[in-house]
Amino acid sequence: MTPSADSDKASKEPPEQQQQQQQQQTLAASNSKGSSPSMWQLVISVFGAAFGVQTEATRQRDFNSSSPLPYIIAGLIFTVLFVLTIIGVVSLVLA
């Protein structure tokens, strides 16, 4: 395709799709393979995994990180806190 055909195709895409593509490109550029996630990114990823809702860009960032260990530890901590919260709520209701 010629450059003008590419720009015509890009201009016909919905703005939401263009914005999503820009976010994915920015995220891919900022998170090269082997980088470790920030604490905030880790929390967002764990909550996204727990609720089953996550963007493709976030999923790619998670799978391209240098080590799965931070995600495993954060997932275990989240699970323990979740179970303790459920136990606490049930205890309050039944008391």
Please report where in the chains the tokens 């016909």 appear, as a residue.
Answer: 12
Q: What is the pLDDT of residues 25-78, one digit of tens each?
A: 655 555 455 678 889 999 999 999 998 898 898 889 988 988 899 999 999 999
| Whole-number Å distance between alpha carbons of 70 and 43 | 10
Scan for tokens 């890009």, then name that residue: 10
pTM of the shown model? 0.60
**What confidence score (pLDDT) does residue 18 get?**
73
Q: What backbone phi and psi angles, to 5 degrees, belong to 57?
A: -65, -40
